[in-house]
A and B are shown apart, each in its own frame.
Chain A
């Protein structure tokens, strides 16, 4: 009976999801990207000379070649844009998921500890959070990648190091609010343990906004990473990453008519990727909110 009820709840939630046009659009876009990422070797082939995440050199000429049959998205800096965009999807997922999940995890831990212990612990953790927030994000990430050196992994470290604060604040505020709820007092009056009250009663009522925030920001991390790549402190040249392809266009900024394809294709991919996560996040917000379940 309970099983059935839960299942029907799940079905109800799914139904709600699939009847929401923006949610469906987001989901389709996201599935499309997942498909592209999974079948990248079939779609764009593999790099026969080494790492698949290195865009193979197809030309030694520095001048861009507009799209043709062999290179449907054109060639810039001697690299095939099509290969970069397709394999870049994998990079985007890897970066978004790792950075998003790690930053959120750190934020949730810091925020929960601050809210639960309160007092001096809260004060110290929140002031540290403030310090991190007071440093302009892009500058901090640039400095850190400069210190750590180029490469996607270092970009991810920089993004995590300066990306956990908003989750920490969000979860802390939510927990502080939920702690005052009467059901928490009611659970205490039933003799429930403090730790279980946090896990069973407080977190389920506070974690959804964090999940929604996570999915909303998943796309943003990719954009920020691209910005770092564009500025030359991100992924190494030739890496299959949307930002890296964009950075090739930097040398052609005054002659964009010759290099438009190196902006349009990775740019479109990025916009759609961010859009997909935002639409899904929006839909999740509507569905997860227990007060909106009917």
Chain B
């Protein structure tokens, strides 16, 4: 929806972010040189398999890594501010206020011993200069806005008294209660059933239109990506392999991994014997392959891929991909299309 980002200044810009975890078995390079921008009011999707570093990217930007995690390099600029140089107490005033996060499992993300109202009010009281009564009013309004029926009654209920969808709505109310500029949504619909998923995504779009915040949608679900995002970062093994706007990515993927992901979506308008799947498994993060990290699973891999790492290059305008053999992929796509039309 935002195709004229040329003249806008990004709200968030991440450059060459590296996040390493020091474990007993060695250093896990969970995020290894990731760059992207998020513009005001847009939704950026980060897609990839489990363990590819998408959640860690979000936690790094909010500086919420645990003691084992370390940001080993890179730059994060949020709203003209150098996030990595910001002292912790200043960071705390940003979290929940300027940048907020919603989580995958709404049951465990809400504290079981407090009512949903208590938890939304906690966020409001932390960042807004209001008394408890006013905070309660704001919390009730927020619950109404996220479509919870009878908010005056629901505000005093405990998380376990709400259904999964209602809990996720409460979680969204909590994270949006201070009107953040940037919202991280870490697989917000994965734990919900499909009809509720659609409702939650719809709600997030509505709230985005109303509040104008940017969203980083972290997911492994390409359906969600297609539904809500404007631009997409495809991550594989801690690296960005492709970065493009959503239409381009779905129509003209330029990295064998993204191409594989697209092929793995079941389609109703095609008859196929078997659904395509990318061969092999995600490499061990302690021992990533040399060269291109996808070379162990790539159908086009050559010796060059096993020794030299492909840079993320602009293959077309505003379309980046990191692959040595884009030509081979294009040939393959052409061959398949010709085969289909014949």
Which residues of A are in contact with B by a Cβ distance under 8 Å? 1-2, 5, 118, 181-183, 185-193, 200-201, 204-205, 290-291, 293-294
The A contact surface, by secondary structure, is helix
Interface presence of B92 (CB below 8 A): yes
Candidates B105, B109, B111, B117; contact of A2 at CB < 8 Å: B117
Q: Is the CB of A190 within 8 A of B105?
A: no
Q: Is the CB of A190 within 8 A of B126?
A: yes
Residues of A within 8 A of B110 (CB): 183, 186
Interface presence of B123 (CB below 8 A): yes
Q: Is the CB of A183 within 8 A of B108?
A: yes
Which residues of B are in contact with A by a Cβ distance under 8 Å? 62, 64, 67, 92-97, 100-101, 103, 105, 108-113, 115, 117, 122-123, 126-127, 136, 152, 156, 158, 160, 171, 174-175
Contact sample, A vs B, 19 pairs, CB 8 Å cutoff: A2-B115, A5-B115, A182-B108, A183-B112, A186-B109, A186-B171, A189-B62, A189-B95, A190-B100, A190-B175, A191-B92, A191-B97, A191-B126, A192-B126, A205-B112, A205-B113, A290-B112, A291-B160, A294-B160
Q: Is the CB of B111 within 8 A of A187?
A: yes
Chain A residue with minimal CB distance to B161? A294
Q: Is the CB of B95 within 8 A of A188?
A: yes
Q: Tell me the bound Cα distance from A192 to B92 in angstroms.
A: 7
Q: Tell me the bound Cα distance from A294 to B157 in angstroms.
A: 10
Residues of B within 8 A of A293 (CB): 158, 160
Residues of A within 8 A of B127 (CB): 191
Q: Is the CB of A1 within 8 A of B156?
A: yes
Q: How far is the CB of B125 from chain A (nearest CB, A)?
A: 10
Q: Is the CB of B112 within 8 A of A191?
A: no
Q: Is the CB of B156 within 8 A of A290?
A: no
Q: How far is the CB of B110 from chain A (nearest CB, A)?
A: 6
Q: How far is the CB of A9 from chain B (nearest CB, A)?
A: 9
Q: Is the CB of A182 within 8 A of B112?
A: no
Chain B residue with minimal CB distance to A288? B113
Q: How far is the CB of A292 from chain B (nearest CB, A)?
A: 10
Q: Is the CB of A290 within 8 A of B108?
A: no
Q: Is the CB of A191 within 8 A of B108?
A: no
Q: Which of B93, B111, B117, B152 has its CB near the most chain A CB atoms (within 10 A)? A: B111
Candidates B64, B92, B101, B171; contact of A193 at CB < 8 Å: B92
Q: Is the CB of A191 within 8 A of B94?
A: yes
Q: Is the CB of B62 within 8 A of A2?
A: no
Q: Tell me the bound Cα distance from A205 to B110 in angstroms.
A: 12
Q: Tell me the bound Cα distance from A249 to B152 in angstroms.
A: 66
Among all A-B residue pairs, the 3 with the closest Cβ atoms: A190-B96, A191-B95, A191-B96
Q: Is the CB of B100 within 8 A of A290?
A: no
Q: How far is the CB of B95 from chain A (nearest CB, A)?
A: 4
Q: How far is the CB of A6 from chain B (nearest CB, A)?
A: 8
Q: Tell me the bound Cα distance from A291 to B109 in angstroms.
A: 14
Residues of A within 8 A of B158 (CB): 290, 293
Q: Tell me the bound Cα distance from A35 to B110 in angstroms.
A: 43
Q: How far is the CB of A291 from chain B (nearest CB, A)?
A: 6
Candidates A181, A190, A201; contact of B108 at CB < 8 Å: A181
Q: Is the CB of A204 within 8 A of B113?
A: yes
Q: List 19 additional A-B contacts (Cβ < 8 Å) besides A1-B156, A183-B110, A205-B113.
A: A2-B117, A118-B67, A182-B108, A183-B109, A183-B111, A186-B101, A186-B109, A186-B174, A189-B95, A189-B100, A190-B95, A190-B96, A190-B126, A190-B175, A191-B96, A192-B122, A204-B111, A205-B111, A290-B112
